[in-house]
Structure 1
């Protein structure tokens, strides 16, 4: 029980740290509505499930430095791409039903959330580190931990999507949404470039 509480608290605290997944959900909820943001949330949860299963099953491939470098490079490129999309995008127009206009679709957002979760170095490093710390846990315990973490990721992301995509929240944020999107886009571009530059300037092992 104590081990479960430690895992649950560590995972939730890591979840509270804003990252690319959070910005992606927030941006989608405020520009395309809650329904489309749910697709992002489901995709991110599926990605977390894949990473948890890979880390907890003892898959050594994702623990090798070369694979981690590849994930970091791909994640950096993805962050730059998402950041540029944020900088170029315009806010949508809210419909009467609370959804937002735009060309985005639920299925497309599902795939986008999946890619975001898989290429997020924070997710990869966290689950790999956690798997190493839980090396002595039983398969049943690892299954319980994994199911719990994926569920919490989905519930938290859905909360963010619903909270930021509600008409009341959109009304309050309408004036600052364009500037917030630009700021988030610039932050993601700088973060992605920093990840890429770290690989090019640091030693390869």
Structure 2
């Protein structure tokens, strides 16, 4: 029980730190509604499940320096792409139930969420580190931990999507959303460039 509480607290605290997943959910919820943001959430949860299964099953490939460099490069490029898309987006809030032309569908949202989760180096490093710390746990315990974390990821992300996709939240965000979107886009693009520059400047091991 103590080990489970430690895992649950560490995972939830890591989940509270806003990152690309949070910005992607917030942007989709405010621009395309809660349903499409739900697709992002499901994709992110699936990606977390894949990474957890890989780390907890003892798949050491993802912890090798060469593979981590590839993941970091792909993640950096993904952040730059998402950041530019956010920065260039013309965002407006429409307090209407009518569908808006040009917004992404649920299937595409699912794909974006999956890519965001899989290409986020923070997720990879966190689960690899957690797996190392749980090396003495049995298979059943690891399965329970993994199921718990995927469930919490999905529940928390859906809560964010619902909160930011409500009419009340949209009304409050109507004035600041364009600036928030551009600020988030700039932040993500700079973060992605920083990841790529780190790979270029650090020696290959």
Structure 2-normalised TM-score? 0.97
Q: 1:109-128 CA deviation, whole Å, 9 max, x = no partner? A: 00000000000000000000
Aligned length, in residue pairs: 205
Q: CA deviation at 1:97?
A: 2.8
What residue number does 1:28 align with? 28
What residue number does 1:196 align with? 196
What residue number does 2:63 align with? 63
What residue number does 2:105 align with? 105
Structure 1 unpaired stretches of 5+ = none
Q: CA deviation at 1:29?
A: 0.5
Report the aligned-residue RMSD. 1.2
What residue number does 1:169 align with? 169
Instruction: State whether residues 20 and 79 of structure 1, in contact with CA within 8 Å, keep that contact through their aligned partners in structure 2.
Output: yes
What residue number does 2:152 align with? 152
Instruction: State whether residues 29 and 162 of structure 1, in contact with CA within 8 Å, keep that contact through their aligned partners in structure 2.
Output: yes
Q: CA deviation at 1:203?
A: 1.1
- Taking the aligned partners of 1:79 and 1:129, their CA distance within structure 2 comes to 23
- Taking the aligned partners of 1:87 and 1:179, their CA distance within structure 2 comes to 9
Q: CA deviation at 1:19?
A: 0.4
1:18 partner SS:
coil
What residue number does 2:117 align with? 117
- Taking the aligned partners of 2:53 and 2:98, their CA distance within structure 1 comes to 36
Q: Does 1:185 align with 2:157?
A: no
What residue number does 2:42 align with? 42
Q: CA deviation at 1:161?
A: 0.4
Structure 2 unpaired stretches of 5+ = none
- Taking the aligned partners of 1:110 and 1:184, their CA distance within structure 2 comes to 21
1:135 partner SS:
coil
Q: Against the structure 1 CA distance between its residues 98 and 131, is the aligned structure 2 distance closer, same or farther, given a 3 Å change threshold?
A: farther
Q: CA deviation at 1:90?
A: 1.5
Instruction: State whether residues 82 and 185 of structure 1, in contact with CA within 8 Å, keep that contact through their aligned partners in structure 2.
Output: yes
1:94 partner SS:
coil
- Taking the aligned partners of 2:28 and 2:204, their CA distance within structure 1 comes to 36
Q: CA deviation at 1:87?
A: 0.7
Q: CA deviation at 1:96?
A: 3.0
Q: CA deviation at 1:91?
A: 1.7
1:90 partner SS:
coil
Q: Does 1:72 align with 2:104?
A: no
Structure 1-normalised TM-score? 0.97
Q: 1:65-95 CA deviation, whole Å, 9 max, x = no partner? A: 1000000000000000000000111125536
Instruction: State whether residues 30 and 93 of structure 2, in contact with CA within 8 Å, keep that contact through their aligned partners in structure 1.
Output: no
What residue number does 1:131 align with? 131
